[in-house]
Amino acid sequence: MVHLPRALATLALSTSVLAFPSLSSRAQAASQHCGKSDNVILQGTPWIVYNMLYNANLMVGTQCTNFDQVTGGNKEVLWNSVTDIQYVESTNNVPKGYSFVGLTENLATQLSTITSIPSTYSWTRTNTTAFKGNVCFDFIINDIKDDSTSSSARELMLWLQYEGGQLPIGWTDGAISTVNDLFGTSWKLYQGVNEGTGITVITLMPETQFAGTFTGDLKDWLLALSKLGHFPESTYVNVGNAGTEFFYGNAVLKAQLGLQITLG
């Protein structure tokens, strides 16, 4: 597949949100976000809900990312992604965007100083046509603090579920290694350069896909890659999020996410 510059927008949201003043934890109204960079900061939480259409010019149809509510004492967020994108032969292998919940707290922190990255992610997807896309975590690390756009950055993707024939960057070169016994399954590791950003993308694809639920400490994922020599533990975790990529189809993803970075 072809990945285009998602990192440019994630840098902007991570740096701007970190500077955002502390907000009250009052209940926040549900909201719908259908524009190409439409988003909402969730007050009193570590999250932003983002509708990122980085290939909106190639999209025939609509895509919305919607905030429902924060639940569990501000520990989880309920959100949904509504995709209605027509299949077009010439662009069927081009991702149109990324619908996600991103972290806004404890970013630009060295991996070695992070205690844990606990996450729970559950979802259901209802398709009324053929759909191409995935459910994933997407982090960006770099030896340079706050830098998620230069070629020295690394985009790390953990695919939980995928359908419609989506393939990761580096697929044609084959898997370069296997990660065993991580989150209850084995993973094939693919690596390649995103031609749109110049950033190297490292993707783990599960031997057994996750059937709508995931629980784990994402620091284990990052440490596994570090032990394989992809980056040192002194690297900075500059961007972190969870969401769904989409190419085409009529589908509704309903999701519940708990994600945070805890420091010692």
Q: Is residue 77 part of a domain?
A: yes
Residue 162 has pLDDT above 70, yes or no: yes
Q: Which tops the pLDDT comparison, 154 or 27?
A: 154
Q: What is the CATH number of the domain that holds 11?
A: 2.60.120.180
Residues 226 and 134 sit within 8 Å (Cβ to Cβ) = no
Label the pairing between strands 97-103 and 47-52. antiparallel
pLDDT grade for 26, boundaries at 50, 70 and 90: low
Average pLDDT, the chain: 92
- pLDDT at residue 8, as a whole number: 38
- pLDDT at residue 27, as a whole number: 79
Report d(CA 221, CA 204) in Å as an integer. 9
- pLDDT at residue 74, as a whole number: 82
- pLDDT at residue 24, as a whole number: 40
pLDDT grade for 16, boundaries at 50, 70 and 90: very low
Q: Is residue 204 part of a domain?
A: yes
Determine what percent of the chain is predicted with pLDDT higher than 70.
90
Cα–Cα nearest to 110, from 242, 258, 232: 232
Average the pLDDT over 243-259 and give the result.
98
Domain span at residue 232?
6-263
Q: Is residue 252 part of a domain?
A: yes
Q: Please name the residues in contact with 220: beta carbons below 8 A apart, sequence gap of 6 or more.
A: 182, 183
Q: Is residue 1 part of a domain?
A: no
Average the pLDDT over 84-101 and give the result.
98
Average the pLDDT over 104-110 and give the result.
98
Beta bridge partners of 237: 109, 141
Total length of the chain: 264
- pLDDT at residue 5, as a whole number: 40
DSSP 128-184: SS--EEEEEEEEEEESSTT--SSTT-EEEEEEEEEETT---TTGGG---EEEEEETT
Q: How many domains does the chain contain in total? A: 1
- pLDDT at residue 73, as a whole number: 84
Q: Is residue 198 part of a domain?
A: yes
pLDDT grade for 264, boundaries at 50, 70 and 90: confident
The predicted-structure confidence for 188-241, as pLDDT tens digits, reads as follows: 999 999 998 999 999 999 999 999 999 999 999 999 999 999 999 999 999 999
Residue 247 has pLDDT above 80, yes or no: yes
Q: Please name the residues in contact with 181: beta carbons below 8 A apart, sequence gap of 6 or more.
A: none
Q: Is residue 30 part of a domain?
A: yes
- pLDDT at residue 25, as a whole number: 42
- pLDDT at residue 23, as a whole number: 37
The predicted-structure confidence for 138-149, as pLDDT tens digits, reads as follows: 999 999 999 999
pTM: 0.91
Residue 246 has pLDDT above 50, yes or no: yes
pLDDT grade for 11, boundaries at 50, 70 and 90: very low
Question: Look-up: residue for tokens 């994108």?
Answer: 85
- pLDDT at residue 207, as a whole number: 97
- pLDDT at residue 113, as a whole number: 98
